[in-house]
A and B are shown apart, each in its own frame.
Chain A
Amino acid sequence: MSTIDSAEVIRLAGLARIDLTDAEVSRLAGQLDVIVQAVATVSQVAGPGVPATSHPIPLTNVFREDVPGATLDREAVLAQAPEAHDGKFAVPQILGEEA
């Protein structure tokens, strides 16, 4: 069974885009290792013949008529954005190159 050490926590936090302090990394490594050992028991419960269930109630795709409907008020939406410019969300540069 795999274990979660500090290096693995740093890798996962990178994938999840969460900056962690060194103290958080070491605390999480210990806790997550215990949790993963506990939840790993699921792999021993169900045999290969059991189908997976992703949803509690059987679902079918739902469509609506392709007609314009109400949308959110742009002013109200942008008023809650960290930064807005010219009626749009303003975001930091997307790539790491020099601006």
Chain B
Amino acid sequence: MSDLTRMTAADLAARLTAGEVSSVEATQAHLDRISAVDGDVHAFLHVNADEALASARAVDSARAAGEELHGLAGVPIAVKDVVVTKGQVTTAGSRILEGWVPPYDATLVTRLREAGMPILGKTNMDEFAMGSSTEHSAYGPTRNPWDLGRIPGGSGGGSAAAVAAYEAPLAIGTDTGGSIRQPAAVTGTVGVKPTYGSVSRYGLIALASSLDQAGPCTRTVLDAALLHDVIGGHDPRDSTSLPEPAPSYEEAARLGGNGDLTGMRIGVVSELGGEGYEPGVRASFQAALTRMTDAGADIVEVSCPSFPAALAAYYLILPSEASSNLAKFDGMRYGLRVEPSEGPVTAERVMAATRGAGFGDEVKRRIILGTYALSAGYYDAYYGSAQKVRTLIQRDFAAAFEQADVLVSPTAPTTAFPFGAKLDDPLAMYLNDVATIPANLAGVPGMSLPSGLSDDGLPVGFQILAPAQQDARLYTVGAALETLLLNDWGAPLLSRAPELEVVR
């Protein structure tokens, strides 16, 4: 039997449906792979073998009994540790939640369970999703399967690395400023940030509520579409959840699978490229554009003049919202409680001692920055101005989508960098998200898929952006580009990653 961990989720689902493979076999194969390589990769914070196998057995029995099952029933999945899972430890990568067992499931987790998808475990991340490298995880970084000395991106480096290292066929990520797309870019995988409101935020440990959105991390565009179809849709428990029914993203991806882009207007964003982007990244991006032109696409250059201000606006809006959202970690109802070593043990002093001991550097930095931005005397100059920039960015998108069906750019300015390279320079770290942040500020959907290798032999991500609620375009255009590139390469890009050392 061929290796179950190397299959796409779509292929694995077909084998399961045909009865050629059981979910227990598929789930066990991935658990074995985790045991073999995760000592090096460290994509997982918690592995959930017993529960995953139990749900796999339940799917197998249901199938044996002739029950009608979801198309992905029995396909295992990994979930980012910022998404709450009932009865299973959830930490968001923070000491302050070490050992916390949520009493409820996120809506997207409920949908995974209803579809019969065994949850393999919870993936590593920068603490509370603040970071672009997983170096801010309280439990140690995840390592990039392409080069174990380099970062896997962040904050969802664990989900991207799990998929890239064949530890899971599918994973869930969350994207506040690029935390699905940038890890996808640097690990040679596919990641989608849906339209804001497409996937319920109920049960996501909030970072910045007006920016956060959960989405798929996969190895192919079709697999991302299949997973988006499972987790998307209206949820009355999230007041920002879009009430309109979504189309089938699977159909949109299958439509693009023929590689035809005739008449598709592809807008290249002038402000998201050029200076600051590595030459190898630019070359890979240009080569992909040429391939799209050959397939019938019209390439147009579009300008989004306010995009250069997006990073600054984001680093005011995000810390402001985060400082408010993270106020709930006060040592009273869940998680860590630390009493001050001297003086009276009052609630206020317990709160300060708990947060001082429980939060890491980056979290403290952003909470204090947000507290500053929201404090009296600075509110209008900082937070108020940032919200105006948000309006300008939405206007830029609206004008650009008059000229193009989708917008494209490199996903990140660089390939995966070595550990420690940007850890002492927060501003340099923030620049990793320069191309991904505008989508979050405007709520529009974005995808990253691999466009090839840079001159350093590491993967480059190609970003596609579509108008709000037009996520289907991402899947059609993404699947088309994927088909064109696959024809050139002869095999998926990931097949060129070095084989990981396997522990037996």
> Are A and B part of the same complex?
yes
A interface, CB within 8 angstroms of B:
2, 4, 8-9, 12-21, 24, 28, 31-32, 34-36, 38-43, 45-46, 50-57, 59, 61-62, 64, 72-73, 76-77, 79-83, 89, 91-96
Q: Can you list 30 contacts pairing A with B, beta carbon distance less than 8 Å?
A: A12-B371, A16-B323, A16-B355, A16-B367, A16-B371, A17-B330, A19-B355, A24-B361, A28-B365, A31-B426, A36-B369, A38-B315, A39-B313, A39-B315, A42-B313, A42-B385, A45-B389, A50-B392, A52-B390, A53-B388, A56-B390, A56-B394, A56-B468, A57-B242, A57-B443, A73-B103, A80-B103, A91-B347, A93-B344, A94-B347
Tell me if B's interface is mostly helix, strand, loop or mixed.
Answer: helix
Starting from the known contacts A61-B239, A76-B103, 8 additional A-B residue pairs (CB-CB under 8 Å) come to A35-B365, A42-B386, A42-B388, A45-B392, A46-B391, A52-B391, A56-B196, A56-B390
Alpha-carbon distance between A35 and B278 when the two chains are bound, in angstroms: 23
Contacts of B306 in A (CB 8 A): 45
Contacts of B313 in A (CB 8 A): 39, 42, 45
Q: For A21, give the chain B residue with the smallest CB separation.
A: B356
Q: Are B368 and A82 in contact (CB under 8 A)?
A: no
Alpha-carbon distance between A61 and B361 when the two chains are bound, in angstroms: 36
Alpha-carbon distance between A36 and B371 when the two chains are bound, in angstroms: 12
Alpha-carbon distance between A96 and B348 when the two chains are bound, in angstroms: 9
Tell me how far the C-beta of A7 lies from the nearest C-beta in chain B, rounded to whole angstroms.
13
Contacts of B29 in A (CB 8 A): none
B residues 349-393 in Cβ contact with A at 8 Å: 349-353, 355-357, 359, 361, 364-365, 367-369, 371-372, 375, 378, 381-382, 384-392
Query: Interface size on B (CB < 8 Å)?
Result: 77
Q: For B101, give the chain A residue with the smallest CB separation.
A: A80
Is B293 interfacial (CB 8 A cutoff)? no
Q: Are A38 and B427 in contact (CB under 8 A)?
A: yes
Is B100 interfacial (CB 8 A cutoff)? yes
Contacts of B369 in A (CB 8 A): 32, 35-36
Is B266 interfacial (CB 8 A cutoff)? no
Q: Are A95 and B392 in contact (CB under 8 A)?
A: no
Contacts of A77 in B (CB 8 A): 103, 333
Q: For B334, give the chain A residue with the smallest CB separation.
A: A80
Q: Are B352 and A94 in contact (CB under 8 A)?
A: no
Alpha-carbon distance between A31 and B422 when the two chains are bound, in angstroms: 13
Cβ-neighbour of A57 out of B101, B240, B316 (below 8 A): B240
Q: Are B210 and A39 in contact (CB under 8 A)?
A: no
Contacts of B340 in A (CB 8 A): 19
Contact A12:B368 (CB < 8 A) given known A50-B388, A82-B331: yes
Contacts of A2 in B (CB 8 A): 378
Q: Are B309 and A56 in contact (CB under 8 A)?
A: no
Is B277 interfacial (CB 8 A cutoff)? no
Q: Are A54 and B239 in contact (CB under 8 A)?
A: no
Cβ-neighbour of B356 out of A19, A28, A31, A50 (below 8 A): A19
